[in-house]
Amino acid sequence: MKNIYRYLTVSCLTILIGFSSLGTFAGNKDRSGQAGASQLLINPWAMSAGWNNAGMASVKGLDAMFGNIAGTAFTKGTDLNFSHTTWLKGTDISMFSFGLLQKLGDAGVIGLSVTSMSFGDIPITTMDKPDGTGATYSPSLMNINISFAKSFSNSIHGGILVKIISESMADMSINGVALDAGIQYVTGSQEQIHFGITLKNIGPTLRYSGDGLSYKVFFSQNYSDQYTVSARTDPFELPTQLVIGAAYDFNFENDYRLTLAGNFTSNSFTKDQIILGAEFSLKNYLMLRAGYAYEEGVWDNIDTDENTNINKGLNLGATVQAPLSKKMTLSVDYSYRSTAHFDGTHSIGARISF
């Protein structure tokens, strides 16, 4: 049986690395801005965002649906998560997320989450009225995630996630599908050593369509011959990521814990990142965390060509957790992500496990 688990692990790792060689490592910083559906790179969950997803190798619960889908395999019953994010405070952009995990006995764990972005009302401008027509429009971005994860042994956990991507406005839209796959490996006398690898946002190219790409033109000077012309749109690729990480738990007396974690993130359309983080837990009632993401140019001024990321790299977070009964636990999470030119990104969420 152990040989079967080893074979499955090696096979999954081979598949993940093989896919990454086709997509992830093909990209570089010069392709920045050429991918679409970049909202897939935004962590909507307050807990894991508090240390910049540094704990990808040890993340559990619904936060694992963004960090590493394999972590959902640790769910013991039912998990519910609600989260609200004020993205780049001052821009009126908000994210709303809801998720559900359900354990199905020895068969595994299934999950469902929905994330939507709201941009408020944006004024409509035209060539004739560049200052606005008085009307507004509001784009809609929504991701629906469906997952399955399973523990193959006490050490090996794996999962796969299907993302349904939807972007729309009044007269244009796009719909597509992407996949995530991940593995977590846990070892040590106290299961304090964690390794993880995940490949995210693998999918076909997408293309916008709709009436908004059509416009009327006249081919005669007396405006008698009117035709409808459809503009062509270029397809775009998804922002594929390969993330490899590790974490170590220092378990002290009185249920105190300090976890140090780190990731290497290879981005197909932006700069690669090295993420380091720490989480301190006080008897699982209070958790404090911090993370930092380093990439080339992150210390330069945002107005220079070297810095291409509005996030400054520092993330902070906290969790207050309390048992409501022997089987039910309520947690409240908060995270802050530092940014340039804006007042940061703030997330707050609530989790219920039973």
pLDDT at 232: 80
The pLDDT tens digits of the residues spanning 34-86 come to 788 999 999 999 999 999 999 999 999 999 999 999 999 999 999 999 999 99
pLDDT at 29: 65
Q: Which of 160, 163, 159 is nearest to 145 (CA)?
A: 163
What single-letter DSSP state applies at residue 119? -
Measure the CA–CA gap between 112 and 286, rounded to whole angstroms.
Answer: 27
C-alpha distances out from residue 243 to 71, 181, 258, 262, Å: 14, 11, 22, 10
pLDDT at 146: 98
Read off the CATH number of the domain in which 225 is found: 2.40.160.40
Neighbours of 191 (CB within 10 A): 13
pLDDT at 26: 39
Assess contact for 104 and 130: CB atoms under 8 A.
no
| Burial (Cβ within 10 Å: 0-12, 13-18, ≥19) of residue 181 | buried
**338: domain range?**
2-353
Q: For the chain, list residues with pLDDT below 70.
A: 1-30, 219-224
pLDDT at 259: 98
Q: Is 353 strand, coil or helix?
A: strand
C-alpha distances out from residue 100 to 63, 145, 196, 243, 246, Å: 11, 10, 22, 24, 26
Neighbours of 62 (CB within 10 A): 33
**What contacts 11, CB < 8 A, 6 or more positions away?**
none
Report how many domains make up the chain.
1
pLDDT at 224: 64
pLDDT at 308: 86
pLDDT at 177: 97
The pLDDT tens digits of the residues spanning 143-152 come to 999 999 999 9
pLDDT at 128: 81
